[in-house]
A and B are shown apart, each in its own frame.
Chain A
Amino acid sequence: MTAATATAQAELTYREAVREAIRDAMRRDERVFLMGEDVGPYGGAFGVSLGLLEEFGADRIRDTPLSESAFVGAGIGAAMGGMRPIVEIMTVNFSLLALDQILNNAATLLHMSGGQFGAPLVIRMTTGGGRQLAAQHSHSLEGWYAHIPGLRILAPATVADARGMLWPALRCPDPVLIFEHGSLYNATGSPAGHDSADITTAAIRRTGSDVTIVAYGGTLGTALNAADRLAEQSISADVIDLRVLRPLDDATIMESVRRTHRAVVVDEGWRSGSLSAEIAARITEQAFYDLDAPVGRVCSAEVPMPYAAHLEQAALPQPGAVVDAVRAVAA
């Protein structure tokens, strides 16, 4: 975040930015409500909804039982019934208990009904590792959701996007899933007055001429850190923040690759069958003759996430590995 944009508004944490976005949406549209586990008096598992119960009451800040399939499905039903629910799931791992509702209903109803019934809801959840929460709280499965037609998948990596993506997501008639990387909640930045971010295109967060680094969500910081180190080695990196994981903004990626002729994708998902695989394939399909080297990838190790700090750090994409991958394609 540059000093110039930071002056536009006081700095917020990512957590506060999400809270502001929810508060703003609930004030603007009385059909909007929040439901999920511990969102009420507890204030949300990650503190996002702290204080909202006092402002909006228990009808609109609605605690749910530990019943992911029921309350996610109820969100879909409520959306079909004209409401605009924001459903919070504690982590992407728990969302698997509601995967049936997300895939077999939210993503599918509009098409199966020949355009008669849609599910315009927003489902927010945390994703990602780095907090020693081990294998059932740390995985990055947003790439799986990005596989599914009918869903729109967002991954705000900045405070401004955390603040700005919710409202357009709620205006969108499609089901939108927003993935918040758990390591970002304490990050600070300026929302820069944004309450309506672009939810269709990727953003170039740093411009460079030698290599394109594609990242999103929790890996954007990793990519920017690597780009700083590469600059010290006189390698200039374009850093793309995907922001939208489905539908992917191919144009921004290809434009960059055609300028830099090299690409590395940084994805906290596992390599096999990952979003990074999809992006690498698309670059090969669309910009093969512009490439000077094979597309590189930095992904999580193919293990369930371990608890021990050194093992977890070894499993996750690190800036050093991105630097190495860039040097390999730039050689």
Chain B
Amino acid sequence: MKTATAGPRPAAPGRAGPAHRRDLLRQMLRIRRFEERCVELYSATKIRGFLHLYIGEEAVAAGVMAALEPADAVVSTYREHGHALARGVPMDAIMAEMYGKATGCSRGRGGSMHLFDRATNFHGGSAIVGGGLPLAVGLALADRMAGRSRVTACFFGDGAVAEGEFHECLNLAALWHLPVLFLCENNLYAMGTRIDRAQANTDLAARAATYGMTAHAVDGMDVRVVEKAARRAAAAVRATGSPYFLELRTYRFRAHSMYDPDRYRDKAEIARWQQRDPIDTLARRMISDGELDEPGLAQLNADVEAEVAASVTAAEQAPVEPVDQLTRFVYAEDEGLP
């Protein structure tokens, strides 16, 4: 089969160096500031629907995406703003999608929970917990059959581990030796239910290991730890063509969604995790290591805020999809798509 194989990505210059760490910090700030703005826009009723925030979990998206190649496929969840931004989906297109505008990355048909972007191999954006796992297995199967050597990175939360599809898909991926990087973002709560009230065995990596794949749990609050683990995992998937499971232990600082009064979590618990804020952690370390100073951090923040502001302006001014386009994209054949 003739297939285009993406060439190796040029070695990121100084990916262990200060410029790379600054980029990780910038990616996490972009996610944080974008979502904080979304909260304001939600309260102002500019954005509607469900809004699931990623605040607190930024190290996972930034660290994992830094470890992936452009040709790799990403399958995401309903809490995917961070994944999409760190993957390189343009912020303008994401903000426009939040507004339901025609310039949105899903042309206003997906919204917050269904961000898609073909250019960056970002395959959504699924609001069915666990529903993306079979897609990731299938993408990896296609790669295997077509002779492509890419990784399919599949994000899901700890809640998805209770779904039957988790068992079905880990079994199938291990059985068929498919190159899937399973990325479980364990933020300890499936909606409002704490993990030990929903899972008989809360050691998720241990459960994945029973399918015969390498499985580790790592600190999901330290972007450098996440990136290192994700690089090692992606390299292993590339080398073996077999699945690999990473459990990223993290925490969301906000409620499950904007509708959630968050009555089920202890304030002290939230405060404890906020002490480990992934953005502060990295910024403080860079400052103490002399890689960044306070004016530099302020400048980085200002740049990010300007990007967010520009995305809001663009989304405000963007056209809506004409209603006469409502029934488009139901059938590809009607669109003349291959």
Query: Do the two shown chains form a genuine complex with each other?
Result: yes
Question: Chain A: residues with CB nearer than 8 A to chain B?
Answer: 30-31, 33, 59, 64-65, 67, 69-83, 85, 100-101, 104-105, 109-118, 120, 149-150, 152, 172-174
Tell me whether A150 and B330 are in contact in the complex, defined as CB-CB below 8 angstroms, given that A30-B1, A80-B142 are known contacts.
Answer: yes
Contacting pair A150 B1 (CB below 8 A): no
Could you tell me the distance between the alpha carbons of A3 and B136 in the complex, rounded to whole angstroms?
50
Sample 10 A-B pairs with CB under 8 A, ordered by A number.
Answer: A69-B168, A71-B172, A72-B134, A77-B139, A78-B142, A82-B142, A114-B104, A114-B107, A114-B329, A173-B337
Contacting pair A112 B168 (CB below 8 A): no
Contacts of B118 in A (CB 8 A): 113, 116-117
Contacts of A150 in B (CB 8 A): 330-331
CB distance from A115 to the nearest CB of B (A): 4
Contacts of B140 in A (CB 8 A): 77, 81
Contacting pair B135 A80 (CB below 8 A): yes
Could you tell me the distance between the alpha carbons of A110 and B106 in the complex, rounded to whole angstroms?
10
For residue B105, which residue of chain A has the nearest CB?
A114
Contacting pair A83 B141 (CB below 8 A): yes
Contacts of A109 in B (CB 8 A): 124
- Whether a CB of chain A sits under 8 angstroms from the CB of B108 is yes
Contacts of B328 in A (CB 8 A): 115
For residue B135, which residue of chain A has the nearest CB?
A77
Q: Name the residue among A65, A73, A79, A83 with the largest chain B CB count within 10 angstroms.
A: A73
Q: Name the residue among B3, B107, B114, B139 with the largest chain A CB count within 10 angstroms.
A: B139
- Whether a CB of chain A sits under 8 angstroms from the CB of B79 is no
Contacts A31-B146, A110-B331, A112-B114 aside, 9 further interface pairs with beta carbons under 8 A come to A69-B134, A70-B171, A76-B135, A77-B136, A79-B138, A105-B134, A109-B124, A110-B332, A113-B110
Contacting pair A70 B330 (CB below 8 A): no
Contacting pair A80 B171 (CB below 8 A): no
Contacting pair A174 B134 (CB below 8 A): no
Could you tell me the distance between the alpha carbons of A81 and B143 in the complex, rounded to whole angstroms?
7
- Whether a CB of chain A sits under 8 angstroms from the CB of B133 is yes
Q: Name the residue among B123, B124, B135 with the largest chain A CB count within 10 angstroms.
A: B135
Tell me whether A81 and B146 are in contact in the complex, defined as CB-CB below 8 angstroms, given that A67-B168, A100-B128, A105-B135 are known contacts.
Answer: yes
Contacts of B131 in A (CB 8 A): 73, 100-101, 104-105
CB distance from A9 to the nearest CB of B (A): 29
Contacts of A83 in B (CB 8 A): 141-142, 145-146
Could you tell me the distance between the alpha carbons of A165 and B125 in the complex, rounded to whole angstroms?
33
CB distance from A58 to the nearest CB of B (A): 11
Q: Which of B107, B117, B141, B330 contacts A74 (CB 8 A)?
A: B141
Could you tell me the distance between the alpha carbons of A71 and B145 in the complex, rounded to whole angstroms?
15
Contacts of B338 in A (CB 8 A): 173
Contacting pair B329 A115 (CB below 8 A): yes
- Whether a CB of chain A sits under 8 angstroms from the CB of B99 is no
Contacting pair B106 A174 (CB below 8 A): no
Contacting pair B138 A75 (CB below 8 A): yes
CB distance from A268 to the nearest CB of B (A): 26
Could you tell me the distance between the alpha carbons of A73 and B165 in the complex, rounded to whole angstroms?
10
Could you tell me the distance between the alpha carbons of A72 and B135 in the complex, rounded to whole angstroms?
9
Contacting pair A120 B137 (CB below 8 A): no
Contacts of B3 in A (CB 8 A): 82
Could you tell me the distance between the alpha carbons of A250 and B329 in the complex, rounded to whole angstroms?
22
For residue A200, which residue of chain B has the nearest CB?
B333
Tell me whether A112 and B109 are in contact in the complex, defined as CB-CB below 8 angstroms, given that A72-B134, A77-B136, A173-B338 are known contacts.
Answer: yes
- Whether a CB of chain A sits under 8 angstroms from the CB of B175 is yes
Contacting pair B337 A118 (CB below 8 A): yes
Using a CB-CB cutoff of 8 Å, which residues 141-188 of chain B contact chain A?
141-143, 145-146, 164-165, 168-169, 171-172, 175
Contacts of A70 in B (CB 8 A): 133-134, 137, 165, 168-169, 171-172
For residue B143, which residue of chain A has the nearest CB?
A81
CB distance from A174 to the nearest CB of B (A): 5
- Whether a CB of chain A sits under 8 angstroms from the CB of B116 is yes
CB distance from A191 to the nearest CB of B (A): 25
Contacts of A30 in B (CB 8 A): 1
Tell me whether A113 and B124 are in contact in the complex, defined as CB-CB below 8 angstroms, given that A65-B172, A65-B175, A70-B171 are known contacts.
Answer: yes
Contacting pair A81 B109 (CB below 8 A): no
CB distance from B225 to the nearest CB of A (A): 30
Contacts of A82 in B (CB 8 A): 3, 142, 146
Which 4 residue pairs of A and B lie closest in terms of their CB atoms, listed nearest first? Answer: A77-B138, A73-B134, A81-B142, A114-B107
For residue A247, which residue of chain B has the nearest CB?
B331
For residue B172, which residue of chain A has the nearest CB?
A70
Contacting pair A77 B337 (CB below 8 A): no
Contacting pair A73 B138 (CB below 8 A): yes
Contacting pair A149 B330 (CB below 8 A): yes
Could you tell me the distance between the alpha carbons of A43 and B109 in the complex, rounded to whole angstroms?
42
Contacting pair A111 B109 (CB below 8 A): yes
Contacting pair A111 B330 (CB below 8 A): yes
Contacting pair A118 B142 (CB below 8 A): no
Contacting pair B116 A78 (CB below 8 A): no
Contact with A along B1-45 (1 / 0, CB 8 A): 101000000000000000000000000000000000000000000
Contacts of B116 in A (CB 8 A): 112-114, 116-117
Q: Name the residue among A31, A72, A79, A174 with the largest chain B CB count within 10 angstroms.
A: A174
Contacts of B73 in A (CB 8 A): 81
- Whether a CB of chain A sits under 8 angstroms from the CB of B289 is no
CB distance from A145 to the nearest CB of B (A): 15
Contacts of B108 in A (CB 8 A): 114
Contacts of A74 in B (CB 8 A): 134-135, 137-138, 141, 169, 172
Contacts of A101 in B (CB 8 A): 131, 134
Could you tell me the distance between the alpha carbons of A174 and B168 in the complex, rounded to whole angstroms?
25
Could you tell me the distance between the alpha carbons of A109 and B331 in the complex, rounded to whole angstroms?
10
Contacting pair B165 A69 (CB below 8 A): yes
Contacts of B242 in A (CB 8 A): none
Contacts of A69 in B (CB 8 A): 134, 164-165, 168
Q: Name the residue among B108, B138, B335 with the largest chain A CB count within 10 angstroms.
A: B138
Contacting pair B145 A59 (CB below 8 A): yes
- Whether a CB of chain A sits under 8 angstroms from the CB of B311 is no
CB distance from A122 to the nearest CB of B (A): 14
- Whether a CB of chain A sits under 8 angstroms from the CB of B250 is no
